[in-house]
Structures are given as structure tokens and as C-alpha cells.
Amino acid sequence: MSTTPINLSSLRPSGWMVVTLAAVLTVALCLQMLPEWLHNPDLSHGLFAPVLFILLLHESRRRGPWHYLDDTTGTRVLRAAALTGGIVVTCVAGLYAAAVEWTHALVGFSLAVALSGLLLAALLWLSTKRVRALPFNWTSFVAVALWPLCAPIPPGTYSRITLQLQLWVTNIVLEALHLLGIAASTSGNIIQLAHTNVGVEEACSGVRSLLSCVVAAVFFSATLVRRPWARVLLIALAPLLAFGMNIIRSLGLTLLANAGVDIGGKWHDLTGFAVLGVTAVILGALAVWLEDPARDTRSPETIAAEPQPAPVAPWGILSGYALACALVAFFVLNTHGPVRESRPAPDLAAILPVTPTGWDIVRTEDLYQFTSVLETDHLIQRTYVRRQRKLNTDEPLQISVYIAYWSPGQVPVSLVAAHTPAACWPAGGWTEQPVAPVAIPFQAGSRTLPAPEYRAFTQSNFLQNVWYWHLYDGRSITQNDPRSAVALLKLAWDYGFRTAGEQLFVRVSSNHPWEEIKDDPLVTGILDHLQPFGL
């Protein structure tokens, strides 16, 4: 006797075609996300997504509740809306890919949302009383809604969440150290101890444990918990638990550092995995404790005995799935390689003069500590100081220039876009100040440049005006905010289809406004050297 009333053999060939296309699109998304799951620690839980998806579908059929939908007008409208939404977002994902390549975070996130929409449309048909291939319950709904939780967070949202979490963790750990009688102070996300400094980096912000805990809580709510209020409670507690456990981890590492222990390497990684493991165990135990042993009062045999109308062929859903597949194929086939030919990495040191007349030079020696975060060894920064009175002030003129380079396909555009001064400087203790937009056209000497992103920061009453460009495949994309979804769609419209290209990030900062440095030979000479790269 079967423990489930669901009869898969009742599906017509058209129904099996829908199931097959849904499986193909799911596998395609997994293959697209696999590099991100393997190399992005914040998304390592995505490696379990295919298994969780299958387990959730199995559990929805095995444990119920076996609720099926009447094929009413409301159900059909909802099904059409989910299908249309999935197709539209698939098109949007293709446009993002055309603008800034397939590895961009917004592409992955959009594809995951599109798949969830398409799967929801299929679920709303498979769970009707005419088909009964899947019950419509919380477990099956979680299965189709799981994918966006395993996709990369759009860079703008990610940088804001990460920065806020870093500052929260830093401040709470500082207060805890004071309660323990340990002298400490902070500068941004840096905790300054008596004999060492500890930085609360992005990996320590808690984003990783936050995402993993939410996924675990959602999974447990669908497989171990049946009461709606208990499910809400479990999911709501997940981010709080993740944040609290990360505070404990950060405090523990800081205490070890204060005791003279090297917290890099094994200590850092070991505590990170321990936090994930402990939080998952706590969530699982909480889910078991909240479990209601009651089951559906209707037996499987009763449900199976209910009259079952003849199934209807899902031609509308099948057409929508075919259109979604065609859109993906169109964008894949029409995105091409870089417009510019690949070449060896440029000599960045040759771009920045070593002995400019009238300037003192300060080299940044510790820049390579950021290579693992930025995923490139091609970094350079030089600061130029002119002490003689050339401007209408006695304050020395300071100009810093930073350049980073990535070869075609080395990193996604989203990685470069996520590490801008607006995203990273506040974590170092800088306070962003309100500024007016840059003048258009943006001039440097006799040349008109692409408009940069402009920010101003202060630290200990020291002002830095910052202008920066993100150069991608021979063009500047910073005149459109790379964190803006609308701006990235505009890139696809303006520049057409293309994939991986070389990238440069160029930052010019000064304690004087642009109007006072734009005609200086040092500045114009450096920018002329960058012209072949698209500036």
C-alpha cells in the first residue's frame, strides 16, 4: 500500500515535457552557479541546494499535508503571473549578462528568481486536483523558492549589508572587551589592542553564517516543523542566532589575538566552520522541539479515493517553458568575447611617474595584503605631495593614485564593483560626506573624460576627495552606478552583447578639489597613460 496518494503515471506526455524542461533549467542554473558555490565562501551552502531541492519535493509527497488546488480562475491567474514573471526575469538576466557578463552577481540572482517563478508555475499546475503530481504545501513551496537564497547577493545590497554588519560586530566586541577590562579602541572595523590590531573583515561580518542559517532554518521549517507559527519563529530566530554566534566567534578571536595567538589561518577557518556547525545543530534541535506530532486527519487512502477528473494538457506552461529556454539560448549564443584583444598585463608602475618634478613620492608598501580579497596581484598606489606653495593655500597638495588590473575573465565585474571606496572606506574609519555631482563634461587638461564616481571622506579632520573609474573591456562603466540594476540594463542597451573583458579600477584622491588639480601636468600625464584602457 502506497504512503502517498500521488499518481505520477497520470501525467500526459505534455506534462512530462514540462517536468523535463523544469529539470533541464534547474540543472542549467546549478552549472551556472557551481563556480560561485565553489569559490565564494558566502555561498558554499549552495552546493547542497540540488540535494535539498530533491529532498523537499520527496518530503512534500511523503509527509503531506496532501492539499490540492481547484483549477479555478484565481489559480490560473496566479499560475500565469508566475510563468510570465519567470519569463520576464529570464530576459532581464540575459540583458544583465549582455552588459557585464554571465558571472555578475545580478545575473546569477536574476536567473535564480526566474527559475523559482517558472517552478512555481509548474507547481501550481502539478498540485491541481486534475493532476495531483505534487501536493501544494509549505514543503513544496520552499523547494521552488529555495534558489534565490543560494544565489549571489547583488553587489550594492551586499556591500551595504556587509559594512553594517562589520560595524555592528566591531562595536559589540569593543563593548565586550571593555566589560572584561581589556583596553581597546576602534577605527572603522579595526579593533586596536595594546599590542596588535584585529580587523573585522568581510568574511567576519557574519554574511556567510547569516545566509547559511536562513537556508537551514527554511529547510528545517519545511521538513521538521508543521505549525505555521513555529515555522515563522524558527525562520525569524535564524538571523539572530547567526549574528549572535558570529559575535561570540569574533570576540573569541580577538581575545586570542590579545593573548598573542596568531588568529590567521587555522584558527580563523576553524572557528568559522565551528560557528556554522553549531548554529545548524541548534536550529535542528529547535525545529525538533517545535515539531507537532499531529498529522493530516485524512488518510492517504481517503485522498486517493476522491474522484479525480481527467488531467488537462499544460500547453500554456509548456509554451512558457519553451520561450524561457529560447531566451536563454538566444542570449548565450549572442554574447560574444571581448571587443578588445587579450594582451599581457600592463606595467602599472610605468603608468605612475617615479620622480615627477617638484613632487615628493610616498609608496604604499602594504598594498598586497588585499590581493586575496581583490583576487589580483596587479596593484599599485603612489601618493604625491607638493610642499611648495603653488595653490592659494599653505596646505601641501596631496594626490594619490591607485590602479588595479584584472585580465579578461579573471574575476566577475561584480567583484570589482563591490570594492569601491564607497563600499570599503567607511570600514576603515572614514566618514562619507555629502557632495555635489561632478561637472559634466568632466575635464582634465584639454581632454574630456568619462564622468567618474565621486565621493568625499573625512577622518580626524583630514579630507579626501575621491574620483574613481571602473574600466571594462576598453570602456568606462562607472558613469552608470555598477550597483544599480537599472544602470546595468542601460549598459546592455548602450553597448550590446559582450562577455569577459579586461578590467581596471582607477582611483584618484586628493585633499584639494578637482578644479585645482585637473590641469596639473602630473594628473594629465597619468590620465593620458590610461587613455588606451578606455579612460
Q: What is the pLDDT of residues 53-97, one digit of tens each?
A: 999 998 998 887 888 888 889 999 999 999 999 999 998 888 878
The whole-number pLDDT of residue 298 equals: 45
The whole-number pLDDT of residue 497 equals: 54
For the segment 510-535, the average pLDDT, to the nearest whole number, is 90
CA atoms of 445 and 535, how far apart (whole Å): 14
Which segment of 178-192, 380-394, 488-502, 509-523 scores lowest on mean pLDDT? 488-502
**Mean pLDDT rounded to a whole number for the chain:** 81
CA atoms of 498 and 495, how far apart (whole Å): 8
The whole-number pLDDT of residue 244 equals: 86
Inter-helix orientation angle 49-63/138-145, to 10°: 160
Half-sphere exposure of 433 (CA within 13 A, CB side): 12
pLDDT above 70 (res 516) = yes
Identify whether the C-beta of residue 457 lies closer than 8 Å to the C-beta of residue 492.
no
The whole-number pLDDT of residue 80 equals: 93
Q: What is the pLDDT of residues 325-356, one digit of tens each?
A: 998 888 888 775 555 555 688 888 888 888 88
pLDDT, greater one: 167 or 208: 167
The whole-number pLDDT of residue 3 equals: 41
For the segment 487-495, the average pLDDT, to the nearest whole number, is 58
Q: Which pairs with CB-CB distance under 8 Å and at least 24 residues apart come from 30-33? A: 32/102, 32/108, 32/111, 33/108, 33/112, 33/150, 33/151
Q: Which pairs with CB-CB distance under 8 Å and at least 24 residues apart come from 486-493? A: 488/96, 488/99, 488/100, 488/104, 488/106, 489/92, 489/95, 489/96, 489/99, 490/99, 491/99, 491/100, 492/95, 492/96, 492/98, 492/99, 493/95
Counting residues of the chain whose pLDDT is more than 70, the rounded percentage is: 82
The three state secondary structure string of 200-248 is CCHHHCCHHHHHHHHHHHHHHHHHCCCCHHHHHHHHHHHHHHHHHHHHH
The whole-number pLDDT of residue 148 equals: 94
DSSP one-letter string for 69-136: B---HHHHHHHHHHHHHHHHHHHHHHHHHHHH-TTSHHHHHHHHHHHHHHHHHHHHHHTBTTT-SS--
Which segment of 331-345, 418-432, 434-448 scores lowest on mean pLDDT? 331-345
For the segment 156-181, the average pLDDT, to the nearest whole number, is 81
Q: How far is residue 438 from each of residues 183, 353, 402, 483, 484, measured CA to CA in Å?
A: 43, 26, 20, 19, 18
pLDDT, greater one: 489 or 96: 96
The whole-number pLDDT of residue 355 equals: 80
The whole-number pLDDT of residue 203 equals: 47
pLDDT, greater one: 133 or 115: 115
Q: How sure is the predictor about 299, in pLDDT bands with cuts at 50, 70 and 90?
A: very low
CA atoms of 218 and 456, how far apart (whole Å): 41
Please tell me whether the overall predicted TM-score, pTM, comes out greater than 0.75 for this model: no
The whole-number pLDDT of residue 118 equals: 95
DSSP 8-state code for residue 459: E
pLDDT above 90 (res 142) = yes
